[in-house]
Structure 1
Amino acid sequence: MEIRTHIRLVVAWRIIIISGIISLIYACSYSDKKISHLSGIAPSEHTLLAITPDVSIKVIGDSLNKSYPQLRTGKVFPITGLLRVDGKAYRFMGDDSLRISPLAPLSEDTIGWMGKYSFLYPGKGWELREYDDSLWNEGNGAFGPTKGYYYPAHTLWGAENFYVRRHIKVDNKDVLKNHKVYARYVCDDQIKLFCNGGFLLENGFTHRTKCQRLTDEAVSQIVDGDNVLAAYCRNTGGAGLLDFGLYIENKTYADAEPATLKKMDAQAMQTQFIFQCGEVELQIDFVSSSLSEKWDMTGWPVGFLTYQVRTESKKDHTVEVLFDVDTEWMFGKRKVDSWVDKDWRFAKSDSLYLAMVADETTFSCEDNHIILSQKLCASNEDKGVLLIGYEEGQTFLYSGETLRPLWDKNGTREVKELMMSVGDRYQEFKAECDKLDYRWNIKAFQAGNKAFAEQTISDYRNFISSHRFVSSPDNKFFCFGDTLGNVREAYKSFPTLLFFNRTDCMKGLLDPVFAYCADIHWVKKYPPYDIGLYPIASKQVKLEDCAIEAAANMLMMTTAVVEAEQDFGYADVHWEQLCLWANYLQERMKKETFPVSELLDEKDERVKCVLGLKAYHKLVQWRKAYE
């Protein structure tokens, strides 16, 4: 219920302010002794690396080497991390290899494949292996536009409904044992896929190749000899496209033994994992540049992970660390570039950049996998760093103007330059993060319990990873989620941002809304619920105005900024709009009759009015003191 939500938010804000004083006392007593993490925080899910909204890497619990990390969208980030100790491989990141080999390749992996097709409904049982398709048309897949299209189609698909049967010969199904089998497909618009009559998947428009693992039940339906992949597709408009095939896991790293996790600790600035790999202990730390406070790195699309090996025995070990990223799995087939720049070895595919120190690092690109490996020895003190950067390709439009990301507001910087800047001082950066973690850890545990600390840290990482930071036309700091200027989402983020003293982000969420309302085209007496969808700020997306909620939230959030900064200046700049919204709430309180039932409903507008007006009265008191 929303009234309870408001109470929790207000209480959280008060706790945060009080705990801030306590944490400052502890921070002042901090010495230069080695930092030791206090909490052992292990959230059920959190952001490992906040890079960009398109590529921010998440992990579920302690599953770093039990499954692949995921992107914010839920898509797999296909990275494998191995440590070889005296020739024996230990996997500390990712699942077993994502390398796949075709049982029945897609058109883009070959010169095409022969299939039977029909534009008319062929009758019941058409997807079964035993069905007689001898009278069907025969064509070369993929199916779609045969000229001037981005995908290699060989037979035209020119109807709304489309039925395709692809015969696949399997000589020995025993080769599938203990291997994962995947269906790969691309379709515009809708697809249902079957194997020997058994349902495999259903999906909508996919302009890039998708890959889905078959269940053990589906794999068991495959037989020696002739098998049939059958697809029903529907094109709702425009050009239709269909391609599908079967692939089998190629266990490149089948000999790799999962490393033993000894410790996981998620802090405000970084997440640490410690693994045992035979007689060697491996420490991995994930650090996001955007979380930095010492340097102005907000919005930098760069993250990194440091690695260090230790052993208690006096025995010498030959140690090598290896990272393998499957770019085909992420992007479809893409060209991979590699070069050395100022002592850094770079590899790039699509918009993804990877880099390691060039010395003692080898690079290879096998089957569209970027593979970087480094020998760990005395010359590099048994430690190193992997840099990860990503450049979003879309242009952000605001009020008819193109806004550039904060890290490149002049349009002259490149991601690789940011990566080298981070890499050259990563040890100094890491040490600063240790200090910040110590400070925020104390504050979190003073403000609440372990559950509070886990939630606050996760919320902060998620906020940074899901927002874009841009420079406005008048050089203000704007902060946008996927739904631009979403007042409700901003309100939910404020307690976390207040806890971390991120008043810059708090104002960055509010300023676009203030600017939008100052435009001559906005004539309403309350603020918008949102101002568009990324990458274009144009008009409100939500059909309902949610006027009371938006006005009250803006008043409360502005009050929070004023109290956090202990300065009325921010509210003074927007005073005319704040008064307009307060008057709107006052009029609604006088004219509207709010049913009592709404007080127990999630849309309790009367409570919102009261909270908004209370915030406004605080601002009035601040203004009098300010004068």
Structure 2
Amino acid sequence: MEIRTYIRFVVAWRMIIILGIISLVYACSCPDEKISHLSVIAPSRHTLLAVTPSLSLQLTGDTLNKSYPQLRTGEAFPITGILRVDGILYRFMGGDSLRISPLAPLSEDTVGWTGKYSFLFPGKGWEQRRYDDSWWSEGKGAFGPVKGYYPAHTLWGAENIYVRRHVKVDNKDALRNHKIYVRYVCDDWLKLFCNGKYLLESRYTYKTKCQRLTDEAISQIIDGDNNILAAYCRNTGGPALLDFGLYIENKTYAEAKPATLKKMDVQATQTQFIFQCGEVDLQVDFVSPSLSEKWDLTGWPVGFLTYQVRTESGKEHAVEVLFDVDMEWMFGKRKIDSWVDKDWRFVKSDSLYLAMAADETTFSCMDGHAILSQKLYVGNERDKDSSGVLLVGYEEGQVLQYDGEALSPLWNSDGTREVKELMKSVGNRYKELKAECDILDNRWNTKAFQAGDKTLAEQMLPAYRNFISSHRFISSSDNKLFCLGDTLGNVREAYKSFPALLFFHRTDWMRGLLDPIFEYCEDIHWSKKYPPYDIGLYPVASKQVRLENCAVEAAANMLMMTTAIVEAEQDFDYAGMHWEQLEVWADYLQQKMKKETYPIIGLLDENDERVKCVLGLAAYYKLIQLKGNL
């Protein structure tokens, strides 16, 4: 009993200290919003541009001019940024190229290809280069329904198919210093080999997929026509389809020099880069306008990057900025639409929108690439244009299914708005938005360094965009704001987000994290005395992903997060709306403390159930005090 009392005392005291620190950090403010010098931070990884969870660009370190930004899935976002200065190319964003040329093209890139095939298992070693396939049937790829949506030429109606494709390589030395890729489409289950070397295994994909060959696989390639791409595909039901080919990177921008990075600065709403390109400096700012406070742009699926060139010498230079996005690489589709709407040139493929000022922009489309370029002026005449903007928008096709109804995203709650209209709205005032973001960054940077050191700043400032990049903002049926990640209503992830949201005083987003959980628990279908770990996987709520018992952690976290909201707002109304539910969770923790006998093993940490119980109850007792005071 004494040990338990001691634990309660220590952890409760720890809770008081933590709450005091949070209150102190929250109290720090910067009343003067004039732009001043910001303390530069450069975290190891951060969200470069927050558009939607499906399209938020991540960057590792200072590699913008060395490799492609990545999506949250880890896949490359195939954008290349080039600045042409007096005929010399400088790459400031992306790799040298994702353009590829066929060594052995897919059926959709040619009139078909010849291969050997068998519907029966041909015996051990069938995938090897030296295997004798002279007795196999010969057919024209691709294989599948010959009148389907895909250009298949040989009917495949059996369950299994084995295919050997002979690939001719005239000069293996020409492959050196180039990436080699295998591209494929399969329905349903595929295993692929190159000269007997296992390459990959894939399930059904109706889009063209692409995977880079390892150096070991490339080393197996020989001069001549006896290189073998071998595939086994199984059809588990319905139509069957198989197509595969070999491609080499084209290195379209191989002659471009990587621009010299002079400065990188990551702040709360934007990331700034300054590159030297010969005698010209290029400044590129990635801005996430959904973080704006002056205009309510929360959840808008739009971001933009501004660019500006200048020179200290005052000499005039012929300068052109170019952005190349490989739409086929990203979406497996070559179709690209382009149109002019008022002052903006739009480009769209699948769900991705790009836009630049129409009267200054040149657009071209080649091999599934969308290329937007603009000529800029560098010299002494200040009235000529030396800057511009690239707008990026994305439309997620899925709609949240919640409690039997479809909920709309906050930006389109009435169902009448379009992404392109939002992009025009942002584009027409991007300079004002940029100026506002400068003010916000100054405020939050000053606050971070007042509250702590550079380490705190590198944790807090990027967390703002990280939160936006991983959450969808949904309008509920009763017009509440729901903030939902990929795992809906994840109590643990919400708890991890709260310190950053407290720092930025986004109590509206904090409520948005908790409201769907409260609604779920206050529904008649949830009868347990503790909250669920989650309430579903996007886009369908009401079907838990994780069913294991995290009851103590979830109950304690909900009590602590509710207390944080009440303290930050200095208003008890939010807790008052859910007081019966909070009492149930507090009683659950109290009963847990009475019934369980915890062994004293090792040191306590914040994830220990004993600590969670005490922290949750301490938060509940704090709520009782606040109820009386507020």
TM-score for both structures, normalised by structure 2:
0.93
Offset at residue 499 of structure 1 (A): 0.9
Which of 400, 407, 422 is matched with 2:404 structurally? 400
Q: Which secondary structure state, in structure 2, belongs to the residue aligned with residue 42 of structure 1?
A: coil
Which amino acid counterpart does residue 172 of structure 1 have in structure 2?
N
Separation (CA, whole Å) in 1 of partners of 2:297 and 2:203: 39
Offset at residue 114 of structure 1 (A): 2.2
Separation (CA, whole Å) in 1 of partners of 2:103 and 2:336: 25
Contact 1:186 1:243 in 2 (8 A): yes
1:177 paired residue number: 176
Which amino acid counterpart does residue 168 of structure 1 have in structure 2?
V
Q: How does 1:185-224 map to 2 (within 5 A)?
A: 185-224=184-223
The one-character-per-residue Cα deviations of 1:567-608 (angstroms, maximum 9, x if unpaired) are 101100111111111112112222233343497588632221
Contact 2:321 2:376 in 1 (8 A): yes
Contact 2:268 2:463 in 1 (8 A): no
1:449 paired residue number: 453
Separation (CA, whole Å) in 2 of partners of 1:489 and 1:144: 45
Q: Which secondary structure state, in structure 2, belongs to the residue aligned with residue 36 of structure 1?
A: coil
Which of 379, 384, 388 is matched with 1:384 structurally? 388
Which amino acid counterpart does residue 288 of structure 2 have in structure 1?
S
Separation (CA, whole Å) in 2 of partners of 1:597 and 1:151: 63
Aligned residues between the structures: 617
Which of 419, 442, 462 is matched with 1:438 structurally? 442
Which amino acid counterpart does residue 318 of structure 1 have in structure 2?
A
CA 1:85 to 1:119, structure 2 compared with 1: closer, same or farther past 3 Å?
same
CA 1:158 to 1:13, structure 2 compared with 1: closer, same or farther past 3 Å?
farther
CA 1:448 to 1:151, structure 2 compared with 1: closer, same or farther past 3 Å?
farther
Separation (CA, whole Å) in 1 of partners of 2:13 and 2:183: 49
2:585 paired residue number: 581
Structure 1 stretch 598-607 or stretch 311-320: which is displaced more? 598-607
Separation (CA, whole Å) in 2 of partners of 1:285 and 1:7: 45
Which amino acid counterpart does residue 368 of structure 1 have in structure 2?
G
The one-character-per-residue Cα deviations of 1:508-543 (angstroms, maximum 9, x if unpaired) are 000001111222212222221111110011222212
Structure 1 stretch 113-122 or stretch 577-586: which is displaced more? 113-122
CA 1:101 to 1:9, structure 2 compared with 1: closer, same or farther past 3 Å?
farther
Are 1:564 and 2:568 matched, yes or no?
Answer: yes
Q: Which secondary structure state, in structure 2, belongs to the residue aligned with residue 522 of structure 1?
A: coil
Offset at residue 294 of structure 1 (A): 1.7
Separation (CA, whole Å) in 1 of partners of 2:120 and 2:253: 46
2:230 paired residue number: 230
Separation (CA, whole Å) in 1 of partners of 2:14 and 2:385: 48
Which amino acid counterpart does residue 494 of structure 1 have in structure 2?
F
Root-mean-square deviation (Å): 2.4
Offset at residue 156 of structure 1 (A): 4.4
The one-character-per-residue Cα deviations of 1:198-228 (angstroms, maximum 9, x if unpaired) are 2333344433222122233322322221111
Q: Which secondary structure state, in structure 2, belongs to the residue aligned with residue 261 of structure 1?
A: strand
Which amino acid counterpart does residue 259 of structure 2 have in structure 1?
A
Structure 1 stretch 158-167 or stretch 46-55: which is displaced more? 158-167
**Uncovered stretches (5+) of structure 1, i.e. residues with no partner:** none
Contact 1:598 1:605 in 2 (8 A): no
Separation (CA, whole Å) in 2 of partners of 1:189 and 1:459: 40
The one-character-per-residue Cα deviations of 1:21-50 (angstroms, maximum 9, x if unpaired) are 33x2xx22444xx53322x21111111110
Which of 503, 512, 519 is matched with 1:515 structurally? 519
Q: How does 1:157-556 map to 2 (within 5 A)?
A: 157-158=156-157, 161-226=160-225, 227-235=227-235, 239-377=239-377, 381-556=385-560
CA 1:431 to 1:114, structure 2 compared with 1: closer, same or farther past 3 Å?
same
Separation (CA, whole Å) in 1 of partners of 2:130 and 2:337: 47
Q: Which secondary structure state, in structure 1, belongs to the residue aligned with residue 317 of structure 2?
A: coil
The one-character-per-residue Cα deviations of 1:354-389 (angstroms, maximum 9, x if unpaired) are 011112211111112111111112555301100000
Offset at residue 177 of structure 1 (A): 2.9
1:20 paired residue number: 26
Separation (CA, whole Å) in 1 of partners of 2:435 and 2:505: 20
CA 1:230 to 1:609, structure 2 compared with 1: closer, same or farther past 3 Å?
same
Offset at residue 187 of structure 1 (A): 2.7
Offset at residue 397 of structure 1 (A): 0.9
CA 1:35 to 1:452, structure 2 compared with 1: closer, same or farther past 3 Å?
same
1:126 paired residue number: 126
Q: Which secondary structure state, in structure 1, belongs to the residue aligned with residue 222 of structure 2?
A: coil
Q: How does 1:134-153 map to 2 (within 5 A)?
A: 134-148=134-148, 150-153=149-152
Contact 1:129 1:196 in 2 (8 A): yes
Separation (CA, whole Å) in 2 of partners of 1:563 and 1:460: 21
Separation (CA, whole Å) in 1 of partners of 2:16 and 2:115: 63
Offset at residue 245 of structure 1 (A): 0.7
Structure 1 stretch 421-430 or stretch 594-603: which is displaced more? 594-603
Separation (CA, whole Å) in 1 of partners of 2:537 and 2:611: 29
Offset at residue 188 of structure 1 (A): 3.6
2:37 paired residue number: 36
Separation (CA, whole Å) in 1 of partners of 2:570 and 2:400: 33
TM-score for both structures, normalised by structure 1:
0.93
Separation (CA, whole Å) in 1 of partners of 2:364 and 2:555: 56
Separation (CA, whole Å) in 2 of partners of 1:591 and 1:152: 67
Separation (CA, whole Å) in 2 of partners of 1:208 and 1:466: 25
Separation (CA, whole Å) in 2 of partners of 1:9 and 1:51: 36
Separation (CA, whole Å) in 1 of partners of 2:510 and 2:483: 8
Separation (CA, whole Å) in 1 of partners of 2:113 and 2:162: 15
Offset at residue 143 of structure 1 (A): 2.9
Separation (CA, whole Å) in 2 of partners of 1:152 and 1:54: 30
Q: Which secondary structure state, in structure 2, belongs to the residue aligned with residue 199 of structure 1?
A: strand
The one-character-per-residue Cα deviations of 1:399-439 (angstroms, maximum 9, x if unpaired) are 11111111110111111111111111111111111111111
Contact 2:325 2:370 in 1 (8 A): yes
> Percent same amino acid at aligned positions?
74
Separation (CA, whole Å) in 1 of partners of 2:174 and 2:538: 46
CA 1:588 to 1:19, structure 2 compared with 1: closer, same or farther past 3 Å?
closer
The one-character-per-residue Cα deviations of 1:242-301 (angstroms, maximum 9, x if unpaired) are 221111112222321111111111111100010000000000000001221221011110
Separation (CA, whole Å) in 2 of partners of 1:288 and 1:425: 13
Separation (CA, whole Å) in 2 of partners of 1:5 and 1:398: 38
Separation (CA, whole Å) in 2 of partners of 1:219 and 1:11: 59
Which amino acid counterpart does residue 530 of structure 2 have in structure 1?
Y
Contact 1:334 1:350 in 2 (8 A): no
Contact 2:69 2:76 in 1 (8 A): yes
Which amino acid counterpart does residue 406 of structure 1 have in structure 2?
L
Offset at residue 310 of structure 1 (A): 0.8
Separation (CA, whole Å) in 2 of partners of 1:147 and 1:246: 25
Structure 1 stretch 500-509 or stretch 210-219: which is displaced more? 210-219
Contact 1:81 1:324 in 2 (8 A): yes
**Uncovered stretches (5+) of structure 2, i.e. residues with no partner:** 1-7
Contact 2:171 2:223 in 1 (8 A): yes
Contact 1:20 1:443 in 2 (8 A): no
Which amino acid counterpart does residue 244 of structure 1 have in structure 2?
F
